[in-house]
Amino acid sequence: MTTTIDPPERRETAADKLRQGRHAISERWHHAPRWVRWVLLVAVIAFFYALPNKEFYQYLGPIPTPGANFTQVMFTVSIYVLLAVGLNIVVGFAGLLDLGYFGFFAVGAYTVAVLTSPSSDLKTLWPWLAVVAIAIGLTMVSGVMLGTPTLRLRGDYLALVTLGFAEMIRIAAVSSEFLKGQRGFNQIPHPPGQYADGRPWFGVLDARPYYWLVLTLIILVVIGVRNLTHSRVGRAWISIREDEDAAQLMGVPTFKFKLWAFASGAAIAGLAGALFAGKQNFVNSQNFELLNSIIILAAVIFGGSGNIVGAIVGGGLVAYMIERFRGIELFGIELYEYRFLFFGLVLVVMMIFRPQGLIPNRRRAAEFKDRRKEVIVGE
């Protein structure tokens, strides 16, 4: 680094400024009174609940997507956010490189499809709501089944095995008669509920109710994940990420907690899969390309691995950016065709200027009162 002639100093200052800027924001946030934080949080959540209403988003300038139904896009975005929150447990907290996370999403979606769709060989035709819990449970079981032999492996090996897992699921979906391949499953029921006049809450045309459902579940999942990470469980995960041997020797049953990380991440993916199937009405093998696993992993790293807010922002932005390119033409070229090129460029730029992600894992003191005290003592 020091061998280059001019950049070191200039880049240092630029990076410093950036860091200070971010630091100031996080500092302000953490030193803001509790009620201010709550008001801001509620405002942000309210914004996202209001977002898919045309009466609201038409005033948002360039934010709505020109080439796609913005409400539909927001549903996709919300699913990616949910997945990013789940994968962040595995990759960000426990430090396990899982390249096949989308496989669990597929397990969730297919469980719902097989048990509810009339095209299924089982012909069980159960209602959607009854199957969601089964989908989550089965995905967790598949996570434990994959994890039990493989979580004894470390690093690269684990990445390879999980990659293989996702491909197995995909190939099974393509070629198994039971899973219907390209033809897929149709008429998967929607979530229940109807208005007074008999119209269902969750219809075919309007994606908003689905989006609101996912958004609500994201909030619940985030509360749950936060509870876990701010406890013995989260400390165990992070200690495993930081130094697995030392963690073992400090009494952390590492295998057990790695398995829990895998199972919790899988459960969230299973939930996302079930929601996706319930909304799409149709599931076939084309929904589960390997690329999706890569996109979610990239989203987590992009947002800031090991930070829940980072994962949310990363998952949301990545899914949104990809859709935002739709319908934009530049010199007669449809930019959507090149969406992954831009995505790649953004990632490369990120890795150069901000390798720790947009909102990095700079977890702060548990209580900031203590921190102020400490500053005073330090002086």
Which of 51, 57, 77, 38 is closest to 314 using CA atoms? 77
Is 218:48 a contact under the CB 8 Å cutoff? no
Is 378:323 a contact under the CB 8 Å cutoff? no
Is 240:247 a contact under the CB 8 Å cutoff? yes
In the complex, minimum distance from the CB of residue 228 to another protein, in angstroms, rounded to a whole number: 5
In the complex, minimum distance from the CB of residue 322 to another protein, in angstroms, rounded to a whole number: 31
- Cβ closer to another protein: 21 or 253? 253
- Cβ closer to another protein: 93 or 104? 93
Q: Write down the residue that tokens 């996912």 correspond to.
A: 214
- Cβ closer to another protein: 189 or 306? 306
Give me the residues that bind another protein (CB under 8 A), please. 224, 227-228, 231-236, 238-239, 241-243, 245-254, 260, 264, 306, 361, 363-366, 370-371, 374, 377-378
In the complex, minimum distance from the CB of residue 85 to another protein, in angstroms, rounded to a whole number: 14
* Rounded CA separation 236/260 (Å): 11
In the complex, minimum distance from the CB of residue 352 to another protein, in angstroms, rounded to a whole number: 22
Give me the helix-helix angle, 308-324 and 339-353, nearest 10°: 150
- Cβ closer to another protein: 248 or 281? 248
- Of the CA atoms within 13 Å of residue 72, those in its CB half-sphere come to 12
- Cβ closer to another protein: 64 or 147? 147
Which of 262, 266, 240 is closest to 253 using CA atoms? 240
Q: Strand, helix or coil at 370?
A: helix
- Cβ closer to another protein: 17 or 256? 256
* Rounded CA separation 320/326 (Å): 10
In the complex, minimum distance from the CB of residue 367 to another protein, in angstroms, rounded to a whole number: 8
Is 146:261 a contact under the CB 8 Å cutoff? no
- Cβ closer to another protein: 261 or 317? 261
Tokens in use for 282?
A: 């149709």
| CA distance between the termini of the chain | 34
Is 147:104 a contact under the CB 8 Å cutoff? no
- Cβ closer to another protein: 243 or 337? 243
- Cβ closer to another protein: 97 or 172? 97
In the complex, minimum distance from the CB of residue 204 to another protein, in angstroms, rounded to a whole number: 35
In the complex, minimum distance from the CB of residue 349 to another protein, in angstroms, rounded to a whole number: 24
In the complex, minimum distance from the CB of residue 253 to another protein, in angstroms, rounded to a whole number: 5
* Rounded CA separation 189/280 (Å): 9
- The DSSP secondary-structure symbol of 185 reads B
In the complex, minimum distance from the CB of residue 142 to another protein, in angstroms, rounded to a whole number: 18
Is 106:139 a contact under the CB 8 Å cutoff? no
User: In angstroms, how far is CA 365 from the centroid of its own chain?
Assistant: 25
- Cβ closer to another protein: 254 or 285? 254
Q: Write down the residue that tokens 């309007």 correspond to.
A: 206
In the complex, minimum distance from the CB of residue 221 to another protein, in angstroms, rounded to a whole number: 11
DSSP string of 132-183, one letter each residue: HHHHHHHHHHHHHHHHHHHTTS-THHHHHHHHHHHHHHHHHHHH-TTTTTTT
